[in-house]
């Protein structure tokens, strides 16, 4: 199935709420590009040539430390964008991006998009809102890493990424190693933490990729900093 730029952009959360006319103006700039699995899309420090909107597939946006350690900032799924900030601020790419699966994106060239922003108030307004949300997400991530311990972060992640309807069982959309990196944990710690949550009866691991939530409220509590309980202490 082929995707057109318009179809992809219509589902893009950054442009949600945009009227058809403005959406068409944005679409005119768009060029649909495919990236094969493992293909590098851009590297940090490069000039950023476009804003990317994912139509199909999965993109890992990550930064690597001088030490070699890397940190996943964002796993961009269909409907999500990346490199917005670099494009808007006319900055260098702050991170690396690569396709985790075969991926289709709409590219909105930086200079033309910036020009559209300058002429079209609706698009501009929409973007302000989108950026505000993205910023809040970042602050959330930051506070997660800074203020919560491993169990809290994992519990919070599970709650956030469970689908809103039928939240009992869900399939992780990304590999655990990427989840771990996103939460600033090692794979090992993530694995052990999931086991602790399972042993405490809060979740159940169906298989490597599937998690069933057994006790939503308790999970909420753990995410809010309460200790896990339901273990050791052989009174």
Partner DNA sequence: GATTGTCGTTGATCTGGATCAAAACGGTAC
Partner DNA sequence: GTACCGTTTTGATCCAGATCAACGACAATC
Q: Which is nearer to DNA, 101 or 111 (CB)?
A: 101
Taking CB within 5 to 8 Å according to partner kind, which of DNA, a second copy, none is near residue 109?
Answer: none
For the CB of residue 200, give the shortest distance to a second copy in the complex, in Å.
Answer: 18
Using CB atoms within 10 A of its CB, is residue 7 exposed (0-12), middle (13-18) or buried (19+)? middle
The answer to whether the CB of 136 falls within 8 A of the CB of 124 is no
Q: Does 176 bind DNA (CB under 7 A)?
A: yes
Binding to a second copy in span 128-147, by CB under 8 A: 128-129, 131-136, 138-143, 145-147
Sole binder of DNA in the list 7, 120, 161, 189 (CB under 7 A): 189
Q: Does 69 bind DNA (CB under 7 A)?
A: yes
Report phi then psi at 231, rounded to 5. Answer: -160, 180
DSSP per position, 75-120: EEPTT-EESHHHHHHT-B--SEEEESSSEEEEEEEHHHHHHHHHH-
Taking CB within 5 to 8 Å according to partner kind, which of a second copy, DNA, none is near residue 88?
Answer: a second copy
C-alpha to C-alpha distance for 125 and 110, rounded to whole angstroms: 18
Sole binder of a second copy in the list 91, 111, 160, 168 (CB under 8 A): 91
Q: List % helix, strand, coil for the chain (3-state, nearest 5).
A: 45, 25, 35
Site pattern 131..170 for DNA (x: CB under 7 A) = ------------------xxx-------------------
Q: Does 184 bind a second copy (CB under 8 A)?
A: yes
């Amino acid at each position: 199935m082929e995707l057109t730029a318009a179809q992809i952009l219509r589902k893009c959360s950054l442009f949600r709420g945009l009227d058809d006319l403005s959406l068409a103006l944005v679409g005119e700039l768009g060029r649909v590009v495919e990236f094969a699995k493992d293909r590098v899309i851009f590297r940090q420090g490069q000039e950023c040539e476009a804003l990317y909107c994912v139509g199909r597939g999965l993109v890992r946006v990550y930064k690597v430390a001088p030490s070699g350690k890397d940190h996943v900032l964002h796993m961009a799924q269909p409907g999500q964008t990346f490199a917005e900030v670099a494009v808007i601020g006319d900055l260098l790419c702050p991170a690396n991006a690569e396709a985790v699966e075969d991926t289709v994106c709409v590219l909105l060239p930086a200079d033309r998009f910036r020009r559209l922003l300058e002429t079209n108030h609706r698009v501009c307004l929409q973007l302000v809102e989108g950026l505000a949300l993205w910023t809040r997400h970042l602050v959330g991530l930051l506070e997660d890493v800074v203020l919560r311990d491993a169990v809290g972060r994992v519990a919070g992640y599970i709650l956030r990424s469970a689908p809103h309807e039928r939240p009992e069982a869900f399939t992780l959309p990304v590999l655990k190693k990427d989840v771990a990196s996103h939460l600033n944990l090692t794979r090992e710690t993530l694995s052990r933490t999931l086991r602790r949550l399972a042993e405490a009866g809060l979740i159940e691991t169906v298989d490597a990729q599937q998690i069933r939530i057994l006790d939503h409220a308790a999970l909420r509590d753990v995410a809010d900093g309460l200790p896990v309980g339901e273990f050791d202490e052989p009174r």
